[in-house]
Amino acid sequence: MRTTIFGASGLLGMALIREWPGDSVTGLSSREVDIRDANAVQKAVKETNPDWVVLAAAYTDVDGCESNRDLAFAVNRDGALNVARAAQVIGARLLFLSSDYVFDGKKTSPYETGDRRNPQSVYGRTKAEAEIRLLVSNPDCCIVRTSWLFGIGGKCFPDTILKLAASRPAIDVVDDQRGSPTYAEDLARVIIQLCRKNAHGIVHATGAGDCTWFEFAQEIVRQAELPAMVRPVSSTQMARPAPRPAYSVLSPASLNSFGIEMPSWRDALQRYLKARG
């Protein structure tokens, strides 16, 4: 199987390159191919001639999207459509990475794949609109929604907490947003399995279990054996430009239907800390 990955320099893209065994894999960073450029995308897909295209490239600065709306839609929605069209031209399958931010966070039980999209941020709207258009233009595509991604090789929540905890006696972390931390390595392995199973439709793939950001930070500090105190605060006390879903836990039922399960986020964190060194 031949695979082309857009966004190969991101946390997930790098994990996909590391974890994908036995197949021909081409990784393209955003510097090599800007997905806003339809011609460049078309050329790259034709040259690599993949069976699967994995679109992990995105503008993921959630707060930045609020002040750079045009850029956010150009990359996350229009860029996705450029990749989808290029894949369709050569008959390749498409796997698109989406987000828990397509939901409003008002539920109190895990979101199912068929629950209504109601994004509250610009970033969430870009992903929701991309999903809707992709399902029309490429009905056999696979859309993988994930959440709270962390991993080796770039900025992520555990990395930030570890640096703060090493330099401060106490750190404040919001305790009224609940979701599921997802290790890039684990998500990469799931994506590989989904491609090999010729998956289509919407799939939710996150670390098993859930927590608040405060609980996540507490566990990071505990496992890393750092002395810093983690203090819970509300979202209003740490206001950000983009609204975050208060609850964005995703149901694993769609993933389980493929016979795939993900490890717990606590187990994943332990492996992340060991790999980080």
What's the pLDDT tens digit per position in 174-221? 999 999 999 999 999 999 999 999 999 999 999 999 999 999 999 999
Domain of residue 67, residue span: 2-155+182-209+247-263
Categorize the per-residue pLDDT at 71 as very low, low, confident or very high, splitting at 50, 70 and 90.
very high
Categorize the per-residue pLDDT at 238 as very low, low, confident or very high, splitting at 50, 70 and 90.
confident
Domain of 74: which CATH number? 3.40.50.720
pLDDT for res 277:
85
Give yes or no for a contact between 6 and 28, defined as CB atoms under 8 angstroms apart: yes
d(CA 80, CA 98): 11
Closest CA to 31 of 8, 47, 3: 8
- CA of 245: how far to CAs of 73, 218, 235, 264, 272, in Å? 20, 20, 10, 21, 25
Residue 216 lies in a domain: no
Residue 223 lies in a domain: no
Total number of domains in the chain:
1
Residue 101 lies in a domain: yes
Catalytic choice (111, 123, 183, 272): 123
More confident residue, 238 or 257: 257
Residue 214 lies in a domain: no
Closest CA to 129 of 142, 138, 118, 115: 118
Residue range 54-61: average pLDDT? 97
Residue 190 lies in a domain: yes
pLDDT digits (tens, 9 = 90+) for 84-103: 999 999 999 999 999 999 99
Residue 71 lies in a domain: yes
pLDDT digits (tens, 9 = 90+) for 20-50: 988 999 999 999 999 999 999 999 999 999 9
pLDDT for res 128:
98
pLDDT for res 156:
97
| Mean per-residue pLDDT over the chain, rounded | 97
Q: Which helix (H) or strand (E) holds 70?
A: helix 69-73
Q: In the annotation, is 123 catalytic?
A: yes
Residue 275 lies in a domain: no
Residue 227 lies in a domain: no
